[in-house]
Amino acid sequence: MTSPLSVIILAAGKGTRMQSAKPKVLQTLAGKSLLAHVLDTCNQLTVDETIIVHGFGGDQVKSEITNQYTQSSFTWVAQTEQLGTGHAVKVTLSDLPKSGKSLILYGDVPLVSCQTLAALKAANTDG
């Protein structure tokens, strides 16, 4: 029996260097938001839960993704203060199962492949 796998997607950053009012994860590449690329890749894996950590522009991120992925269920966790990557993961702890494994991804890294994630998942088997 394998442990449950949760995917945590960090999508709270502002992206100040982009000089845009739009949250970084909603910037588009090849017709889709950066976050949509990551979610599409994750949807090719078998996972028990997908947690999205939102912060800057959180309502906009939540609205766009919820409207686009009507058949998907996400756990949304707010990072009210952007205090770094470790803090972003920490705010998800109460939403994670008591046992299992987590795969942490950045919501602004759209080119990670399903093959890479599947290899990571396979390399981290129980036993």
User: Tokens 């599409």 correspond to what residue?
Assistant: 40
Catalytic annotation present for 104: no
Task: Please answer whether residues 6 and 103 qualify as being in contact, where contact means their C-beta atoms are separated by less than 8 angstroms.
Answer: yes
Residue 31, C-beta contacts closer than 8 angstroms, at least 6 positions apart: none
The one catalytic residue among 1, 16, 17, 93: 17
111 neighbors 37 (Cβ within 8 angstroms): yes
What's the gap between Cα 82 and its chain centre? 15
Any idea which residues carry the catalytic annotation? Answer: 17
